[in-house]
């Protein structure tokens, strides 16, 4: 019998997926983004709309993502320290009020400092209740959700009613930090001279895919608020602090195994307090962004549940900074689209994008032999596709419901990969173990 020589493993030509995994992370993300933009461009051609990739849609996406990003980062710091903070929406309400009060009396920077301080104080209240007095984390969070709107209404009745244009439900109008447009790439000014608009020129050419990418990039560089740039820088600093410093390691140990950290001499109480107070400060800044940049006014009840959506962003991001950034942009996109899509056609086209994404999810599940997940994804995708076929314009309520639907799908298809801190939500007492 003639022996058949096997090809050595080292001589085997690597497949497409293996080649992709060896690429640098930044190049992989560029390929994913370019592929997603190609799918969106094809969907637009089929649906007869251009609303998905205009500069206005991406500009609004970036702006609406910042409150979600700041609050989700606040939730991440608290949960990494082992304390569940579902009261983010209530802290945002306090941050909105303090931001508007500070901006009216001391300017925009005063509003930022006041919002951070107000949010930190509410975070400190949550820390005292859950860490020192060992109150159930959910109960304390619900109390803050009730306290936030009630406290701001009380303060408005005592303060804003005495200001010109203020009342018991709103503040006078306030100004933000201002904005900047990137010169040459998006047509920003240098002094009094307006520079060329590189991405705008490509967008106007109406070239398939190329113009779509140019429109999205222009929106990310057009009239970007200084508050937005500050928030992005703060996110990068916090990511470095959490994952690259001794302080971050100790804070994470408070949420993973506080008793092991205690055995190494770490003051677990301090780092738990630090995480929760910083969480409150970030949620307060999130509220200030709404008051100063989105609405230019404090108005009671205008958080619109964004604190809860921020919690969904944190879960979607699997308690990781990179996932939270992506989730904030993804969840903010439908809100932006709703403000620019007056005829509902672009939102209808988004239904087809969702159907294709669910089809890809079903294929991914089949590849991993997860038949039940594949069947669920295929069934939901079919329903969404039929909805797309039999409607001319999507309903107005659809964009507001998309973030909750996305996080439900994540919990269904990716629940086993969710990695929350092991001691998250558990009570800690020094020397207990």
Asked if residue 428 is part of any domain, the answer here is: no
Asked if residue 275 is part of any domain, the answer here is: yes
| Model pLDDT for residues 21-35, shown as the tens digit of each residue | 788 877 888 888 899
308 and 367 share one domain? no
Task: Report the pLDDT value the prediction gives residue 11, as an integer from 0 to 100.
Answer: 54
* Residues 83, 76: Cα–Cα separation, whole Å: 10
In sequence order, what are the beta bridge partners of 170? 299
303 and 374 share one domain? no
In terms of phi and psi (left: phi > 0; alpha: psi -120 to 50; beta: otherwise), the region of 370 is: beta
| Model pLDDT for residues 89-142, shown as the tens digit of each residue | 999 999 999 999 999 999 999 999 999 999 999 999 999 999 999 999 999 999
290 and 404 share one domain? no
DSSP three-state, residue 44 = helix
375 and 354 share one domain? yes
| Model pLDDT for residues 189-202, shown as the tens digit of each residue | 998 899 999 999 99
More confident residue, 340 or 147: 147
pLDDT of 409 above 90: no
pLDDT of 410 above 80: no
Asked if residue 382 is part of any domain, the answer here is: yes
Asked if residue 203 is part of any domain, the answer here is: no
Asked if residue 296 is part of any domain, the answer here is: yes
380 and 256 share one domain? no
Whole-prediction pTM: 0.92
Q: Any alpha helices (H) in 179-320, and if so which ranges?
A: 198-204, 210-219, 226-244, 246-256, 258-263, 268-289, 306-316
332: CB partners within 8 A, 6+ apart = 60, 61, 62, 63, 64, 65, 68
385 and 310 share one domain? no
In sequence order, what are the beta bridge partners of 180? 224
Asked if residue 255 is part of any domain, the answer here is: yes
275 and 386 share one domain? no
Average pLDDT rounded to a whole number, residues 339-360: 88
Average pLDDT rounded to a whole number, residues 207-214: 94
Task: Report the pLDDT value the prediction gives residue 416, as an integer from 0 to 100.
Answer: 64
Average pLDDT rounded to a whole number, residues 311-326: 92
137 and 270 share one domain? yes
More confident residue, 146 or 402: 146
Asked if residue 188 is part of any domain, the answer here is: no
Q: Which residue, of 306, 334, 362, is where some domain finishes?
A: 334
Least confident of 144-153, 249-258, 269-278, 416-425: 416-425
More confident residue, 397 or 111: 111
- Percentage of the chain beyond pLDDT 70 is 95
140 and 269 share one domain? yes
Inter-residue long-range contacts of 177-181, CB under 8 Å, 24+ positions, other chains counted: 177/108, 177/109, 177/112, 177/225, 177/226, 177/227, 177/230, 177/292, 177/293, 178/108, 178/225, 178/226, 179/223, 179/224, 179/225, 179/226, 180/223, 180/224, 180/226, 180/229, 181/221, 181/222, 181/223, 181/224
Q: Which residue, of 334, 359, 393, is where some domain finishes?
A: 334
390 and 302 share one domain? no
pLDDT band at 1 (very low <50, low <70, confident <90, very high): very low
* Residues 277, 283: Cα–Cα separation, whole Å: 10
274 and 385 share one domain? no
Q: Judge residue 6's burial from the number of C-beta atoms within 10 Å of its C-beta, 0-12 exposed, 13-18 middle, 19 or more buried.
A: exposed
| Model pLDDT for residues 10-68, shown as the tens digit of each residue | 555 566 777 777 888 778 888 888 998 999 999 999 998 888 999 999 999 999 999 99
Asked if residue 124 is part of any domain, the answer here is: yes
* Residues 390, 357: Cα–Cα separation, whole Å: 19
More confident residue, 372 or 181: 181
Average pLDDT, the chain: 90
Task: Report the pLDDT value the prediction gives residue 24, as an integer from 0 to 100.
Answer: 84
pLDDT band at 328 (very low <50, low <70, confident <90, very high): very high
Count of structural domains within the chain: 2
Task: Report the pLDDT value the prediction gives residue 338, as an integer from 0 to 100.
Answer: 82
pLDDT band at 304 (very low <50, low <70, confident <90, very high): confident
Question: CB–CB of 227/293 below 8 Å?
Answer: yes
Q: Which residue, of 297, 317, 334, is where some domain finishes?
A: 334
* Residues 10, 387: Cα–Cα separation, whole Å: 50
Task: Report the pLDDT value the prediction gives residue 349, as an integer from 0 to 100.
Answer: 92
pLDDT of 339 above 90: no
Domain extent, residue 353, equals 342-423
247 and 150 share one domain? yes
Q: Judge residue 7's burial from the number of C-beta atoms within 10 Å of its C-beta, 0-12 exposed, 13-18 middle, 19 or more buried.
A: exposed
């Amino acid at each position: 019998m003639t022996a058949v020589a096997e090809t050595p493993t080292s001589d085997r030509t690597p497949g497409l997926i293996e080649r992709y995994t060896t690429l640098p992370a930044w190049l992989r993300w560029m390929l994913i983004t370019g592929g997603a933009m190609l799918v969106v461009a094809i969907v637009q051609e089929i649906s007869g709309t251009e609303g998905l990739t205009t500069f206005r849609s991406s500009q609004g996406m970036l702006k609406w993502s910042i409150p979600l990003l700041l609050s989700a980062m606040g939730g991440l710091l608290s949960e990494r320290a082992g304390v569940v903070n579902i009261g983010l929406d209530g802290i945002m309400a306090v941050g909105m009020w303090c931001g508007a009060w500070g901006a009216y009396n001391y300017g925009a920077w005063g509003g930022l400092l006041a919002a951070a301080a107000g949010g930190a104080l509410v975070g400190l209240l949550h820390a005292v209740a859950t860490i020192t007095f060992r109150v159930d984390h959910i109960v304390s969070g619900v109390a803050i959700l009730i306290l936030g709107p009630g406290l701001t209404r009380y303060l408005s009745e005592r303060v804003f009613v005495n200001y010109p244009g203020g009342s018991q439900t709103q503040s006078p109008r306030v100004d933000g930090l201002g904005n900047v447009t990137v010169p040459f790439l998006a047509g920003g000014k240098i002094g009094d001279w307006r520079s060329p608009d590189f991405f705008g020129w490509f967008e106007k050419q109406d070239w398939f895919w190329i113009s779509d990418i140019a429109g999205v990039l222009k929106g990310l560089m057009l009239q970007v608020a200084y508050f937005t740039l500050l928030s992005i820088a703060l996110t990068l600093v916090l990511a470095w602090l959490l994952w690259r410093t001794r302080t971050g390691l100790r804070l994470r140990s408070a949420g993973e195994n506080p008793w092991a950290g205690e055995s190494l001499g770490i003051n677990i109480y301090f780092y738990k307090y630090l995480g929760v107070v910083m969480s409150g400060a970030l949620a307060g800044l999130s509220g200030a962004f709404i008051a100063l940049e989105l609405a230019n006014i404090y108005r009671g009840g205008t958080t619109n549940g964004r604190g809860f959506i921020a919690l969904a962003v944190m879960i979607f991001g699997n308690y990781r900074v990179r996932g939270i950034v992506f989730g904030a942009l993804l969840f903010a996109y439908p809100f932006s689209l709703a403000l620019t899509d007056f005829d509902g056609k672009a939102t209808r086209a988004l239904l087809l994008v969702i159907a294709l994404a669910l089809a890809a999810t079903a294929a991914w599940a089949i590849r991993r032999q997860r038949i039940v997940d594949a069947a669920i994804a295929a069934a939901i995708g079919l329903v969404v596709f039929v909805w797309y076929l039999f409607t001319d314009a999507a309903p107005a309520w659809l964009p507001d419901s998309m973030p909750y639907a996305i996080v439900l799908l994540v919990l269904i298809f990716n629940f086993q990969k969710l990695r929350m801190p092991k001691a998250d939500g558990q009570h800690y007492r020094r020397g207990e173990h």
